[in-house]
Amino acid sequence: MGPTHQSNSGIPDFHSRLGEETITFVVGEAKKHYHVHTHIVKSGVLGDVCAALDQSNRSEDIKSIHWKNVDPSVFANLIEYAYTGDYTVPGLEPLDDELFNEPPSIMESLEDYDWDMDTGGGDEVAFQESRHAIILTAYKGFVERGRELYPTPSERFRNWEPDLEPSNGDGYLAIFQCHVKLYLLARMHGIGHLKRLCLFKLFRTLPHLRDYEHAHDDLAIAILHAYGSTRKGDALRNLLASFAALNTGMMRKARRYADTIRQCPEFAVDMIRQLHSPW
């Protein structure tokens, strides 16, 4: 990013930026206009976005860039990241349904389980308890591996946790797509830190997801979009397939998963390769 103007007190004088030149981004089918400071676009924080400026017309300054195939909400998150280093994740909307017997999330299951319990024995109760321990061990492995594969991108996000309240609320698709689509845009333009931030936030979100059918339906839609826009071995694919492999029970209930598997056999293959012994 370019140098920040300083006031006499040594504090950055952001008011001096207000008169600086801007570039207009015309985004989406609706051609929504966003005005972004030129120094932000050319600073490098947006990866190779400024390459279009350098290559399109060297004889005069570019005043507008058209991004027809980008969702305005995703672009807004991208520019928020360019200015602040972070992006806002949508929240959930309450449903009219009253909440009964709220199912635990992966993180709650791990925290509540007695890992010192003896699961030996041959009766049915012991068998079921042993199977439960194996499933939770798989959950634990997902969380531990994820912390290595999708680490905290900076100290600023050390304590970041998703806001998934009310947990049975509506709007999970917007949350998943926020991370997935912004990751894809960052990947396209080589914005490495933003890619890592998206993966980190999505990884931190998934273990807090409760077993509501509509939430998993929304995740299945996001998975289909992610696989349709990435190639084999992509980190986003690995994260989504490894989480899905932990939730085969819910997959049998969520109707959207069947559609995703039919339309995207690559996802089915990746998920099967990561299935754990209880299945």
**Residue 11 pLDDT > 50, yes or no?**
no
pLDDT per residue over 71-100, tens digit each? 999 999 999 999 999 999 999 998 766 555
Structure token pair of residue 32? 């929504």
Q: Looking at domain 20-84, does it have CATH number 3.40.50.720? A: no
Q: Which pLDDT does position 9 carry in this prediction?
A: 45
Q: Which pLDDT does position 217 carry in this prediction?
A: 93
Q: Is the dihedral of CA 102, 108, 114, 118 positive or negative?
A: positive
What is the DSSP-derived secondary structure letter of residue 6? B
Q: Is 115 exposed, middle or buried (0-12, 13-18, 19+ CB in 10 A)?
A: exposed
Per the CB < 8 A criterion, the answer to whether 37 and 21 are in contact is yes
Number of Cβ within a 10 Å radius of residue 44: 13
CA–CA gap between residue 34 and residue 23 (Å, rounded): 8
Q: Which pLDDT does position 118 carry in this prediction?
A: 58
CA–CA gap between residue 78 and residue 188 (Å, rounded): 12
Portions of the chain given CATH number 3.30.710.10: 20-84
Q: Which pLDDT does position 74 carry in this prediction?
A: 96
- Alpha carbons within 13 A on the beta-carbon side of 127: 3
- φ, ψ (nearest 5 deg) of residue 70: -110, 135
Q: Which pLDDT does position 225 carry in this prediction?
A: 96
- What value does the mean pLDDT of the chain take? 83
pLDDT per residue over 45-56, tens digit each? 888 877 655 554
CA–CA gap between residue 247 and residue 52 (Å, rounded): 43
pLDDT per residue over 179-234, tens digit each? 999 999 999 999 999 999 999 999 999 999 988 888 999 999 999 999 999 999 99
